[in-house]
């Protein structure tokens, strides 16, 4: 994956999650379907412009645009289906736009986080599980055209305090790897759908 500045590597997950100090993280395995092995490189990859967005609710993090874009490009380079358009190709190339949205209601988020703090402080670090609902929206739009984005749900489970991990169906990830792995899962899901269509999406 691309190397981001240290401050960005710390800031971006916090923007996505609005928390820090979690002890362990897990991604929902239902949305991790085979990885790169299900993607067939194209003999002539399609040149695309790449845009990235990160939202908490309806609020966009402008600081995250380049980081999301960089992670999308890393996945594209690993798969060989699309390539980033050069300056000559850009005006006529379609745009691949990837939005990562944390759609967890703020009230629920802070209630779960508050429960984790309270139980951790008063009941021997029992802690709590916090579930972030993630939606990836991916679109491939021709110049001057429009495209309905494809939606790819995901879930991030976090354990605050000393609590058992989620029962089944999750994969543990390092706290600061979840950002890249979420994007990878979502982009790979889009590429699988794209290649399943005779003429693309």
Give the pLDDT confidence of 128-181 residue by residue, as tens digits.
Answer: 778 889 999 999 999 989 999 999 999 988 877 666 667 678 888 887 788 899
Q: Are 78 and 181 in contact (CB under 8 A)?
A: no
Distance between CA atoms of residues 127 and 65, nearest Å:
33
Of 27, 29, 49, 34, the residue nearest 79 (C-alpha): 34
Q: What are the pLDDT digits (tens) for 77-92?
A: 999 999 999 999 999 9
Given a cut of 70, is residue 6 above it in pLDDT? no
The pLDDT of residue 175 = 78
Q: What is the DSSP letter of 91?
A: G
The pLDDT of residue 53 = 95
Coarse DSSP helix, strand, coil percentages of the chain, rounded to the nearest 5 percent: 40, 30, 35
Given a cut of 60, is residue 1 above it in pLDDT? no
Given a cut of 60, is residue 14 above it in pLDDT? no
Contacts of 113 (CB under 8 A, 6+ apart): 19, 128, 130, 160
Q: Are 154 and 136 in contact (CB under 8 A)?
A: yes
Distance between CA atoms of residues 200 and 183, nearest Å:
20
pLDDT band of residue 20 (cuts 50, 70, 90) is very low
Judged by average pLDDT, the poorest of 23-32, 42-51, 124-133 is 124-133
First to last CA, the chain: 26
More confident residue, 154 or 123: 154
The pLDDT of residue 177 = 85
Name the strand (E) or helix (H) holding 188: helix 178-196
Mean pLDDT of 42-54: 96
Average predicted confidence (pLDDT) for the chain: 80
The pLDDT of residue 71 = 95
Distance between CA atoms of residues 36 and 75, nearest Å:
9
More confident residue, 66 or 168: 66
Alpha-carbon torsion (31, 39, 45, 196), positive or negative? negative
């Amino acid at each position: 994956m691309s190397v981001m500045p240290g401050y960005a590597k710390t800031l971006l997950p916090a923007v996505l999650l609005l928390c820090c100090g979690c002890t362990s993280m897990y991604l929902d395995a239902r949305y991790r379907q085979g990885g790169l092995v299900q993607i067939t490189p194209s003999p002539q990859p399609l040149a695309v412009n790449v845009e990235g967005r990160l939202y908490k609710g309806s609020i966009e993090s402008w600081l995250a645009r380049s980081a999301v874009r960089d992670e999308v490009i890393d996945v594209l380079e690993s798969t060989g289906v699309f390539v980033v358009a050069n300056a000559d190709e850009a005006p006529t190339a379609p745009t691949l736009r990837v939005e990562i949205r944390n759609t967890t209601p703020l009230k629920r988020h802070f209630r779960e986080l508050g429960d984790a703090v309270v139980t951790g402080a008063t009941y021997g670090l029992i802690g709590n599980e916090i579930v972030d609902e993630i939606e990836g929206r991916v679109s491939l739009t021709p110049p001057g055209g429009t495209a309905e984005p494809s939606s790819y749900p995901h879930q991030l489970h976090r354990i605050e305090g000393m609590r058992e991990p989620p029962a089944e169906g999750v994969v543990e990830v390092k706290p600061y790897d979840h950002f890249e792995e979420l994007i990878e899962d979502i982009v790979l899901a889009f590429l699988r759908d794209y290649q399943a269509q005779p003429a693309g999406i």
